[in-house]
Amino acid sequence: MKMWSGRFRQPLDPAFEQWQRSFEFDCRLLECELEAISAHARAMEKAGVLSVDELRLVLRGLELIGEKAADSPEFLNDPEAEDIHHFVEKQLVALIGDAGYKLHSGRSRNEQIATDLRLYLRAGCDEISEELSALISAVLDRSEQVGQAAMPAYTHLQRAEPVLVAHWLLGYVEMFFRDLDRIGDCRKRANVCPLGSGAVTGSTIPLDRELMARELGFSAPSTNSIDATSDRDFVIEFVNALSLLALHLSRWAEEMLLFSTQEYGFVHLPESYSTGSSAMPQKMNGDLLELVRGKAGRIIGDATALLVTTKGLPLAYNKDLQETQEPLFHAAEAMLSSLPLVSGWTKAVEFDLERMQKAAETGYMNAFAAATYLTRKGVPFRIAHEQVGKAVRLALEKPCELQDLSLADLRAIDSHFDAEFFNFVKLENVLAIHDVPGGTAPVRVREAIAAARSKIAPACEDAHAHA
Ligand code: ARG
């Protein structure tokens, strides 16, 4: 039986009937739906609408539905179910009779879907946070393993200054920490309970909304029934947080791909996460990285779809909101499936530290340090910049590196150059003089790794506490 057929004289156009269903995708909300219904049923009993026996019957029925779904995926093949709410009602009535119908008194699918989505999203926040914390740990492990090795830091994709490989990796750790924060933040705002909001104006049964919220682990009941049934800002916020994470992962993937080319040769792709070419026998392609980069496009698309779908909607519920489900599911599931693979890749990848280190020693990346040397001798930076520029020009013409110029050549450019210069522009010293918090001096990088380690431990515990 349909949930709403009484006032209709004509049957639905069969194509329309199929087309407007959401069960094909909202069936993944089954667990959330069962949880939410049991909280609602308890409140119904407390309000005197269900007897104690009926409540027991309902709870047993819900349990059976959960078991049946776990036992066989075919159980969810139901071409008649309009959506997850209709499906559960049908199954419940088949199992326990009319008490199943009674449940819908004082309730609407509008509040149910809003509740289910919050439960789904909250679980998504927790699972993704846990996987992201694991990725951060993996990157931190690698940052420790690479020790004091250096590499070029690039700006404009041109060699800029040498940097510790660990410092480069820690850059991503910071991005991922902010992503973790954003997801946690979004979880807080999403964690309120719409049950009791009815279709739009609130339930006509005096349901204990605090009780329902508590039962479901929400921090409080939502405050306005119109808002609770019609806004999806929590979905938008979550998918936008995922878009930023996807964007960070995409930049990571792009950089790793670039560094894995023969031209760079900094990264050896792990065979276990790469594929070959059906045509060119020699090839090994970084498909994992390319798919991570590609998925970012779709996740950002999900965020855009959500914004555009909801932007012109009058209050309160409109069926357009059904279209907000799939972008949420896609974004959450794409992210959740990607993260463990990115962690696996991170553990397996080999860095060619020798080649990175070599690259860090050439290309005049000590020119900024050379200018610093002159400023320490009292030369104003603008002049020092100019003088070192001239030295670079001379070295380019020879060709050689700055430290290969003779002291006489250097002094002809600026009399402040003297013999200490050659030590000052050695790689080790160039790294060491970037000695500020957040800088690449080895001592600062060690501190940064320790600080990140101490941040990740509580983040992991948080994720467990929410599970
Ligand atoms: N499947 C619907 C959705 O996802 C559930 C809510 C239906 N409400 C309604 N008034 N038709 O939005």
DSSP 372-396: HHHHHTT--HHHHHHHHHHHHHHHH
pTM of this structure:
0.95
Q: Are residues 23 and 154 in the same domain?
A: no
* Cβ atoms of residues 3 and 86 within 8 Å: yes
Closest listed residue to residue 127, CA positions, set 286, 305, 333, 278: 333
Tokens representing 232 are 């999806």
Is any ligand 1 atom within 6 A of the Cβ of residue 22?
yes
Is any ligand 1 atom within 6 A of the Cβ of residue 27?
no
Q: Are residues 393 and 291 in the same domain?
A: no
* Cβ atoms of residues 452 and 177 within 8 Å: yes
Closest listed residue to residue 313, CA positions, set 201, 230, 233, 190: 230
pLDDT, tens digit, 9 for 90 and up, residues 277-303: 899 899 999 999 999 999 999 999 999
Is 438 part of a structural domain of the chain?
no
Query: What is the per-residue burial (b if ≥16 Cβ within 10 Å, else e) of 196-207?
Result: bbbebebbeeeb
Distance from C-alpha of 197 to C-alpha of 111, rounded to nearest angstrom: 6
Report in angstroms the alpha-carbon separations of 403 from 363, 367, 380, 412: 11, 10, 22, 15
Domain of residue 375, CATH code = 1.10.40.30
Is any ligand 1 atom within 6 A of the Cβ of residue 83?
yes
Q: Are residues 83 and 159 in the same domain?
A: no
In the three-class reduction of DSSP (H, G, I as helix; E, B as strand; rest coil), residue 220 is classed as strand
Report CA dihedral (4, 5, 8, 12) to the nearest 10 degrees.
100
Which residues partner with 351 through β-bridges? 267
Give the nearest ligand 1 atom to 325 CA.
4
The protein residue with its alpha carbon nearest to ligand 1, atom 12, reads: 322
Distance from C-alpha of 463 to C-alpha of 134, rounded to nearest angstrom: 11
Domain end (from 105, 133, 154): 105
Q: Are residues 37 and 172 in the same domain?
A: no
Is any ligand 1 atom within 6 A of the Cβ of residue 7?
no
Is 441 part of a structural domain of the chain?
no
For residue 399, say if its preceding peptide bond is cis, omega within 30 degrees of 0. Answer: yes
In the three-class reduction of DSSP (H, G, I as helix; E, B as strand; rest coil), residue 198 is classed as coil
Domain of residue 304, CATH code = 1.20.200.10
Cα 193 to ligand 1 centroid, rounded to whole Å: 17
User: Is the confidence at residue 463, as pLDDT, over 80?
Assistant: no
Is 280 part of a structural domain of the chain?
yes
Q: Are residues 327 and 386 in the same domain?
A: no
Is any ligand 1 atom within 6 A of the Cβ of residue 403?
no
Is any ligand 1 atom within 6 A of the Cβ of residue 319?
yes
Is 435 part of a structural domain of the chain?
no
Q: Are residues 392 and 462 in the same domain?
A: no
Tokens representing 70 are 């776990």
The mean pLDDT of the chain is 96
Give the nearest ligand 1 atom to 109 CA.
6
User: Which of 322, 323, 326 gets mutated to test ligand 1 (max ligand atoms within 8 A of its CB)?
Assistant: 322
| Average pLDDT over every residue of 223-240 | 98
pLDDT, tens digit, 9 for 90 and up, residues 46-102: 999 999 999 999 999 999 999 999 999 999 999 999 999 999 999 999 999 988 888
The protein residue with its alpha carbon nearest to ligand 1, atom 2, reads: 322
Q: Are residues 298 and 382 in the same domain?
A: no
Q: Report CA 183 to chain centroid distance, whole Å.
A: 8
Cα 97 to ligand 1 centroid, rounded to whole Å: 24
Is 434 part of a structural domain of the chain?
no
Q: Supply the range of the domain harboring residue 40.
A: 5-105
Contacts of 242 (CB under 8 A, 6+ apart): 128, 183, 299, 302, 303, 331, 332, 335
Is 430 part of a structural domain of the chain?
no
The protein residue with its alpha carbon nearest to ligand 1, atom 10, reads: 110
Q: Over pLDDT 90: what percentage of the chain? A: 92
Cα 69 to ligand 1 centroid, rounded to whole Å: 22
Distance from C-alpha of 227 to C-alpha of 229, rounded to nearest angstrom: 6
Domain end (from 59, 77, 105): 105
Is any ligand 1 atom within 6 A of the Cβ of residue 113?
yes
User: Is the confidence at residue 276, as pLDDT, over 50?
Assistant: yes
Q: Report CA 324 to chain centroid distance, whole Å.
A: 18
pLDDT, tens digit, 9 for 90 and up, residues 173-216: 999 999 999 999 999 999 999 999 999 999 999 999 999 999 99
Question: Which single residue is written with the structure tokens 């009674």?
Answer: 102
Is any ligand 1 atom within 6 A of the Cβ of residue 33?
no
Closest listed residue to residue 455, CA positions, set 189, 178, 171, 241: 178
462 pLDDT band, cuts 50/70/90, is low
Report CA dihedral (95, 96, 98, 102) to the nearest 10 degrees.
-110
Is any ligand 1 atom within 6 A of the Cβ of residue 107?
no
Cα 115 to ligand 1 centroid, rounded to whole Å: 12
Q: Are residues 257 and 351 in the same domain?
A: yes
Give the nearest ligand 1 atom to 324 CA.
4
Mind telling me the catalytic residues?
156, 277
Q: Over pLDDT 70: what percentage of the chain? A: 98
Closest listed residue to residue 93, CA positions, set 82, 105, 85, 101: 101
| Average pLDDT over every residue of 104-131 | 96
Is any ligand 1 atom within 6 A of the Cβ of residue 213?
no
Give the nearest ligand 1 atom to 199 CA.
10
pLDDT, tens digit, 9 for 90 and up, residues 307-350: 999 999 999 999 999 999 999 999 999 999 999 999 999 999 99
How many C-beta atoms lie closer than 10 Å to residue 144's C-beta? 12
Cα 246 to ligand 1 centroid, rounded to whole Å: 29
Q: Are residues 92 and 123 in the same domain?
A: no
244 pLDDT band, cuts 50/70/90, is very high
User: Which of 109, 225, 326 gets mutated to test ligand 1 (max ligand atoms within 8 A of its CB)?
Assistant: 109
Give the nearest ligand 1 atom to 82 CA.
1
Tokens representing 443 are 């001592």
User: Is the confidence at residue 467, as pLDDT, over 50?
Assistant: no
Q: Are residues 291 and 353 in the same domain?
A: yes
Give the nearest ligand 1 atom to 22 CA.
1
Report CA dihedral (327, 329, 331, 335) to the nearest 10 degrees.
-170
Is 442 part of a structural domain of the chain?
no
Is 432 part of a structural domain of the chain?
no
pLDDT at 460: 53
Q: Are residues 184 and 136 in the same domain?
A: yes
* Cβ atoms of residues 92 and 41 within 8 Å: no
User: Is the confidence at residue 104, as pLDDT, over 90?
Assistant: no
Domain end (from 61, 89, 105): 105
Domain of residue 69, CATH code = 1.10.275.10
pLDDT, tens digit, 9 for 90 and up, residues 420-442: 999 999 999 999 999 999 999 99
Q: Are residues 147 and 256 in the same domain?
A: yes
Cα 28 to ligand 1 centroid, rounded to whole Å: 15
Q: Is 373 exposed, middle or buried (0-12, 13-18, 19+ CB in 10 A)?
A: buried
The domain total for the chain is 3
Tokens representing 134 are 């694991």
| Average pLDDT over every residue of 135-147 | 98
Cα 322 to ligand 1 centroid, rounded to whole Å: 6
* Cβ atoms of residues 252 and 267 within 8 Å: no
pLDDT at 79: 94
